[in-house]
Amino acid sequence: MVHKVAGPEIERLISLLAKLPGLGPRSARRAALHLIKKRESLLEPLAASMSETAQKIEICSNCGNVDVLEPCAICRDERRDHTMIVVVEEVGDLWALERAKVTKARYHVLGGVLSPLDGITPQDLNLNQLIERARTNSVCEVLLALNATIEGQSTSHYIMEQLAPCNVKISQLAHGVPVGGELDYLDEGTLAAAVKARKEM
């Protein structure tokens, strides 16, 4: 229990800021002071931006992405590849792939991974919609771009089984040495995968 020293309005702001990932009680207090100091240049625009986002944001009914458009801008974009669906766990993973500009395909956001210990079952994920999308004629390949964690990999296997009746190629991201990575710092699993999947030069 932290001793309250500012007024209730400021304390409420601090306690809400402390719920953001990456901010603890101490840094939330610093952030609140910073906001109060920069009332016109930061506090007011941020309040307006949050309120606008809260009003306008939609979850895309096709792929699970978040956007102010429904369907989202990626699903609407006719220039994107109709033949491949890239399956990711969270919207943040979609953003990471978009930043890297590595694919022109469309996405499918699962909204998590299977985790029996946390009670997350296939019903909790955006899976039925994926199977429906994979059944459409234009789709030839589903790339499972889930995290290389135990949950991510077992979810990949589950999805692979579910997609078996659909007439699509199923792929997953390659494992190996990260570009710029030093062998000395890599775990045995990564090194084993990199050796196994070695390429002739």
Residues that bind a copy of itself (CB under 8 A): 2-3, 5-7, 9-10, 12-13, 16-17, 19-23, 27, 29-31, 33-36, 38-39, 42-54, 56-57, 66-69, 73, 90-92, 94-95, 98-99, 101
Q: Give dist(CA 18, CA 13) in Å, integer.
A: 9
In angstroms, rounded to a whole number, what is the distance separating the alpha carbons of residues 53 and 45? 12
CB of 159 to a copy of itself, least distance (A): 22
Q: Please identify, using beta-carbon distances, which residue of 17 and 194 lies nearer to a copy of itself.
A: 17
| Distance of closest approach, residue 95 Cβ to a copy of itself, in angstroms | 5
Considering the complex, state which of residue 29 and residue 163 has its C-beta at the smaller distance from a copy of itself: 29
Q: For residue 173, what are the contacts with CB-CB under 8 A and spacing of at least 6?
A: 143, 144, 145, 148
Of 91 and 144, the one with the shorter C-beta distance to a copy of itself is 91
Q: Measure CA of the first residue to CA of the last residue in the chain; give whole Å.
A: 61
Q: Are the beta carbons of 171 and 141 closer than 8 angstroms? A: yes
